[in-house]
Amino acid sequence: MEVTALGWTLTIAVIVALLALDLTLGVLRPHAVGFREAAVWSVFYIAVAVAFGFVLAHVSGWEYGTQYFAGYLVEKSLSVDNLFVFVIIMGTFAVPSKYQQEVLTFGIVIALLLRVAFIALGATLLSLFSFMFLIFGLVLIWTAVQLFRHRSEERKVDENFLVRAAKRVLPVTDDYVGGKMVARVGGRRVVTPLLIALIAIGSTDVLFALDSIPAVFGVTDEAYLVFVANAFALLGLRALFFLVKGLLDRLVYLSAGLSVILAFIGVKLALHWAHSDLSHGVPEIGTPLSLVVIVAVLAVTTVASLLKSQRKGSDRKPVRASDGERQPR
């Protein structure tokens, strides 16, 4: 795929403009985000991502357009799973609602910068060593197994090494001091829990990138498509957090569905390596089939989760008095 310098410049300009918009909303106007506002911005970011995909398909062809949409769906679904951890982080550090946007926005900026480094490294390794497709595939299969095994376990922020190190080294105040990350209290400079929460989100995203970057390379080996799929998936994360944080506990099968997707992409990468390095008789899994499988797994996972949650809700309804018994007035 040939991407000109102008193409890269325009893409980065659009992403920077959207990041600036996110920073304006999240940092310069700190406030508690309601459901309606979160829904509007979530639809906006998804619409921008979809519009970009259609423009890309029109310019470069639907082969690359399909790869982009498959990569975007993978990254978006993995980012929803990441929101579970973000909710836990916000609760652990008791971040006030009006400051949660700030933490998320800066966290997204850090995540995007980290992803650029991981994407560049991944693209270089894949271009130099073909067996890296097998390594990435095995990493995804192992991640899928671990995700499925621990799908019901509570995730703990206190086990994060950087968070524990920051608390030991830095003077941390218990107060948020007007939403500042670093403040002066009692004549000395201290950091607030807002900075610790940001460290938790940023460092956790490093772990997320270890499975999300190989996963998107599993549907496309074009570094440009990997970058834009990651960027557009991350850009809508702030609004999506406020939209679904009250609904995350209803997606009970999300981790199981994601483990299936990661395992599928891992097998796809392993087959690609075997087809290229061992024998052309080994079958490969095409991008259109990958897109169908990803959409189908996400649809089944979502519907099954909502039905399960609905049944749980109906089971909790108060029992009515049996026939012949009079209800108390």
Q: Tell me the per-residue pLDDT of 79-136, one tens digit each, with 9 for 90 and over.
A: 776 777 777 777 777 787 777 777 787 777 887 888 888 888 888 887 777 788 888 8
Q: Rounded to whole angstroms, how far apart are CA atoms 30 and 46?
A: 23
**In 61-172, where does DSSP find H-type helix?**
62-92, 97-128, 132-149, 161-169
In the numeric block, the tokens 């398909």 are attached to 57
> How confident is the model at residue 28, as a pLDDT?
66
Q: Which residues of the chain fall below pLDDT 50?
A: 319-329
> How confident is the model at residue 152, as a pLDDT?
65
Q: Rounded to whole angstroms, how far apart are CA atoms 198 and 193?
A: 9
> How confident is the model at residue 50, as a pLDDT?
94
> How confident is the model at residue 143, as a pLDDT?
80
Residue 327 resides in a domain: no
Strand runs labelled E in the chain: 182-185, 188-191
Residue 214 resides in a domain: yes
Residue 324 resides in a domain: no
Residue 211 resides in a domain: yes
Residue 86 resides in a domain: yes
Structure tokens of 241? 């957090």
Query: In terms of residue numbers, what domain contains 172?
Result: 5-313
Structure tokens of 58? 């029109």
Residue 204 resides in a domain: yes
Number of folded domains in the chain? 1
Contact 248, 201 (CB under 8 A): no
Residue 329 resides in a domain: no
Q: Rounded to whole angstroms, how far apart are CA atoms 217 and 226?
A: 7
> How confident is the model at residue 327, as a pLDDT?
44
> How confident is the model at residue 249, as a pLDDT?
64
List C-alpha distances in Å: 272 to 120, 192, 258, 269, 282. 21, 48, 21, 5, 8
